[in-house]
């Protein structure tokens, strides 16, 4: 499993206003999971140039691998291309490969001329092929910019993962195991969890409480390399039993 972190930025006022429901987060998690990868963070940003620039500046500085969905069209509310350039301190330039893609799609010369805005990318960018309508996305500094339309964005993201990051794929080497602890509150297991994360900093420990009428439950989960999760979960089970609580298994998830 790669130690590289993957992130997602979803851009659009329509998501924050409730006019549209985001689908990219769930899909990217799915696309990463089947390749043995996982998502570390996600941000939702409206169509505000300053906010998008700030989010991208922070993301570029992190050196994470990031996907950005939305805002790369040619209308006035599409500000992602300009914000990416501003975040990097470079100018926008018409990409020659992008011109060729548009010519293949719309004919030569490209008309109307406003369409050429679609392939004005931050200087130094490369294009991401669009299998739907040949209007490309772009990437620079391991940030991958695709349209907001799922029908275009998702195959473009898959192209990136399978073309550029194939060496990072490690399906089946990570797993997650979880148990439900009956009649327990978070405060009951905090010392147990603190000791566990000290012993196993390489693993991810989660605690998801639930309240039911007249009773409490906790789901304790361990995620990490297949070779170590099983033994680590045995430690959790033994610790829970030592505290006097009963547990039941939760279905194991391969990562």
Tens-place pLDDT, residues 215-237: 899 999 999 999 999 999 999 99
> What's the fold here for domain 174-254?
Alpha-Beta Plaits (3.30.70)
pLDDT in tens, 160-213: 999 999 999 999 888 999 999 999 999 999 999 999 999 999 999 999 998 888
Instruction: Determine the Cα–Cα distance for residues 181 and 163; give it in Å rounded to an integer.
Output: 43
3-state SS string for the chain: CCCCCEEEEEECHHHHCCCCCCCHHHHHHHHHHCCCCCEEEEEEECCCHHHHHHHHHHHHHHCCEEEEECCCCCCCCCCHHHHHHHHHCCCEEECHHHHHHHHHHHCCCCCCHHHHHHHEEECCCEEECCCCCCCCEEEECCEEEECCCHHHHHHHHHHHHHHCCHHHCCCCCEEEEEEEEECCCHHHHHHHHHHHHHHCCCCEEEEEEEEECCEEEEEEEEEEEHHHHHHHHHHHHHHHHHCCCCEEEEEEEEC
- pLDDT tens digits, 28-47: 999 999 999 999 999 999 99
Residue ranges of domains in the chain: 6-168, 174-254
Confidence of residue 112 (pLDDT cuts 50, 70, 90): confident
- Asked if the domains at 6-168 and 174-254 fall in one CATH topology, the answer is no
Predicted TM-score of the model (pTM) = 0.88
Task: Indicate if the pLDDT at residue 255 is higher than 60.
Answer: no
Q: Identify the CATH homologous superfamily for domain 6-168.
A: MoaB/Mog-like domain (3.40.980.10)
Q: What is the pLDDT of residue 171?
A: 92
């Amino acid at each position: 499993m790669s130690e590289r972190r993957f992130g997602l930025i979803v851009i659009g006022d329509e998501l924050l206003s409730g006019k549209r429901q985001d689908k990219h987060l769930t899909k990217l998690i799915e696309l990463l999971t089947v390749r043995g990868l996982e998502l570390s963070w996600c941000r939702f940003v409206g169509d505000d140039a300053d906010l998008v620039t700030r989010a991208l500046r922070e993301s570029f500085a992190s050196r994470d691998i990031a996907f950005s969905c939305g805002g790369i069209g040619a209308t006035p509310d599409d500000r992602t291309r300009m914000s990416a350039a501003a975040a990097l301190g470079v100018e926008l330039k018409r990409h020659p490969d992008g011109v060729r893609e548009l010519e293949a799609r719309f004919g030569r010369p490209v008309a109307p001329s406003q369409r050429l805005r679609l392939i004005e990318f931050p200087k130094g960018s490369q294009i991401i092929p669009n299998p739907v309508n040949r209007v490309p996305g772009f990437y620079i500094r391991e940030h991958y910019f695709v349209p907001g339309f799922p029908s275009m964005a998702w195959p473009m993201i898959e192209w990136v993962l399978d073309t550029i990051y194939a060496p990072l794929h490690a399906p089946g080497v990570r797993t997650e195991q979880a148990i439900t602890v009956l009649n327990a509150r978070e405060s009951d297991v905090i010392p147990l969890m603190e000791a566990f994360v000290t012993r196993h900093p390489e693993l991810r420990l989660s605690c998801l409480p639930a309240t039911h009428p007249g009773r409490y439950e906790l789901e304790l989960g361990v995620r990490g390399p297949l070779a170590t999760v099983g033994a680590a979960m045995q430690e959790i089970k033994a610790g829970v039993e030592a505290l006097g609580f009963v547990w039941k298994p939760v279905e194991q998830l391969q990562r």
